Amino acid sequence: MNAVWTLCVANLREKKIQNGLTALLILLATLLLATSVNVILTTGNLFTAIHEKTNGSHQILKFTNKLHDPRMVNDWWSKQDGVATSKLLPFKNLTTVMYEGQEIPNLYLYMMNTPELPFGVDEPTFVKGDVRSNPATGTIWISTALAYAHGMSLGDHLGFTTGLEKFELEVSAIVIDVPYGAPFSNGIRIWMNTEDYQEKLSSMQVSDMYMMGLRFNDYSQNAYHWDRFENFLGTPFLESKDEFETISAFYLIINKVIAFAMSFLGVVMMSIALITIGFTISDAILSNYKTIGVLKSLGLSANKIILTYVSHYSFLAIISIIPGLLLSHFSSKLIVESSLSNLEMESTTSSIHGGMISLVVGVFVFLLVFLCVLIYSNKTRSIEPAQAIRYGMSEVENSKMTKRLGSSGVNKFGFASYPVAFVIGLRNLLKNRKGSLLIMVLATVTSAVLVFGFVLLNSIVSIEKTMPLWGYDSSDISVVVFNKAAFSRGDFEKEMLVDERVETIGWMGDELSGIFPSEGQTTGSKSVSLDIMDGNYDELGFATLKGNNPKNKNEIALGINVAKHLNKDIGDVTEVYIDGNKHTLTVTGIYQTIREMSNSARITVDVVKVYKPDYYATFLGYIMLKNTADSDDIAAELNAKYKNSVNALAKQTLIDSVFKEAVSILIVPMSIMGLMFVLVTFIIIYSTCRMNIRKESKTYGIYKSVGMTSIKIRQCVTSGVVVLSTIGALLGIVVGTSILPIVMESVLSSYGIVELPLLFNWGGILPMACISIVSAGFGSWLSSRIIAKTSPRILVVE
């Protein structure tokens, strides 16, 4: 055992750089794997913890169209066993909020008439401010989603307008509001005092609307309850219903993307680490073949020689895994807190931890390293002492080498006619095939990671070019009508269409729900959000995956998840209830949208006019311009002229309000992962080239003795690696632009995106791919310094 320990310590001392690089590789793999697992589990656990703490709803029912008596519905659900029901929450909608003299764009406000706490479901959880049963007169409670996104704090004043009246209210508390506090959502609840609600909103000529939350003791049984409820009603539930999947989606989607990327890259990096360890052990066995033979001839058993390698790399694994796990705690905490800050409070930050899961990941990584070392070091069993001492290799390998040296294979390829530099570089690659293959694979993976990361971030940053493929329109200006009493659509259109800058106008109707009957399914009827267009979907930039947008009164286009749920395709007929009226419509198209997770449908205004001939779509206007550059000016003009009735927003303003947060959350972890892979490329290529150069030291000594300079030899070696990594980079471009997007689509499909809208900017893709080439070339060049430092005589003698 003393001999084993002596040999293990000797390997650790003699190969400091190689051991350090191997340890760093294991550390980075552990960091990525542990971070990805922690992010996935912590995200779900943190959301679940807050959802439980607030007695969060599984479904939100909204009564906006007077199709059911909200009090009757609330009373029925409150009597059901296994279901918790909130109080009825009256509200009215506004679209304008001012903070520090500036309007916050793209917000849809639910101004709540706050009943006394507790609500029963979706209890507001106070993060800042005094806990009260309801807001004091002149004050409001706002959600963390609004406060954190815009830097609001207690005592700040927010301004609102009903179109006819403006008023300000003071922020007295910041609360976690789970159903309306997710990142990227624009629906925000403002909790008002009852007196303020009645006084400040009295000028609005609309009656109260209501919402209520349902929480099931066993969510999987909700279909059973809904079957009973709809039997009680005698019809499907005709108002709108938000499902738990929709409520939770935007809390989890970004972290799911980041965790997927990290876990995928962690697996790749771990595979590279194991391949590198295996290659290093194989190379060490070949380099020390004669020494191992001598040790065996002196009585050291094969098991003890294997134990030397196992001890060596087990020690490296342990000292690498521990800091990797510690760092993963901080990295996962950073990612989770940045994406779930809306759920953060002092009592929840402690839930962001690795715990037992990190330990399991660490043990898993250690076992992988242990098994890899055991498998590769087992090759020492076949070493025969006599052959090792005589040939420095097995007799079979010696015979093969002799045949190769004696053959005229070199002349067959005509290498004598090629430049010396080319032959030396190619010979270095061919003679070390395993190392060369590792370099090419590494360059491929690194380029693929960098290219895909760049493409993804660039596509989100430049999302205005692909908005239709995310389920949005491509209009230049959106106009929200918040005061219909003071607005004339006819006059507005007349003025707009005579403006030479305007191309066309379309209008979206008020928020309606489409109810698809169960048709014998066990999941109950399905409620989806309906887009009602008075205009041409195609002209305003709404895209479909297949088929066409509806144009007639008997047509409908379905979101991809609705189509899957109903098992419908182009040309199929489906029944849908709109405002309590049953329609039989033909499916003309299927589309994807990140909004509502593709749980939506598109119809034309003619469908509604079948049962409501005087229906007038004036909820949201879309304006297409001849020159997009005019959008900011026209939006400002509209806001100034129609300040009492509409809120106009340019396309870029809308995009920034929704996707800017996604970019800020994604850019840091994606950049770090890219840098990690560049570092790994450098580490492995440096280590591999250094081992190859040591094995070929005699050959390079001969080159120097016949007049080649150290610089020339180093250039030859590096040029071969650069050529090989260039091939890998080209393959990486293919993988990063073709294969990885498909894998990402499988992650996002449940969120309603089955075809990832990507922009391929080749002016950025090619430089990204070249980073791996530069890293490989620099690693190879740096590792070849040993050639310059050693004299030809010593090299030849060795």
Cβ within 8 Å of residue 179, ≥6 positions away: 56, 57, 60, 122, 213, 242, 247
As a whole number of angstroms, the distance between CA 533 and CA 525 comes to: 24
Closest by Cα among 622, 628, 620 to 506: 622
- Give the mean model confidence (pLDDT) for residues 24-51: 80
In tens, the pLDDT along 495-538 reads 888 888 988 899 988 777 788 886 654 455 677 888 899 989 99
Counting residues of the chain whose pLDDT is more than 70, the rounded percentage is 83
What was the pLDDT predicted at 587? 94
As a whole number of angstroms, the distance between CA 740 and CA 734 comes to: 9
What was the pLDDT predicted at 388? 54
Most confident segment among 570-579, 613-622, 671-680: 570-579
**In this structure, what token pair is assigned to residue 639?**
């806001």
Residue 391 pLDDT exceeds 50:
no
- Give the mean model confidence (pLDDT) for residues 1-10: 66
Q: Provide the pLDDT confidence category of residue 278 given band limits of 50, 70 and 90.
A: confident
* Sign of the dihedral defined by the CA atoms of residues 305, 306, 311, 317, in that order: positive
**In this structure, what token pair is assigned to residue 410?**
């070199």
Q: Quote the mean pLDDT of the chain.
A: 80
In tens, the pLDDT along 649-661 reads 888 777 776 666 6
Which of 206-210, 243-247, 428-432, 536-540 comes out lowest in average pLDDT? Answer: 428-432
In tens, the pLDDT along 287-304 reads 666 676 766 676 677 777
In tens, the pLDDT along 763-782 reads 889 998 888 888 888 888 88
Q: Provide the pLDDT confidence category of residue 581 given band limits of 50, 70 and 90.
A: confident
Q: Where are the alpha helices (DSSP H) in 177-221?
A: 194-200
Beta bridge mates, 82: none
Identify the burial level of 427 via C-beta atoms within 10 angstroms of its C-beta, where 0-12 means exposed, 13-18 middle and 19 or more buried.
middle
In tens, the pLDDT along 120-144 reads 898 888 888 888 888 999 999 998 8
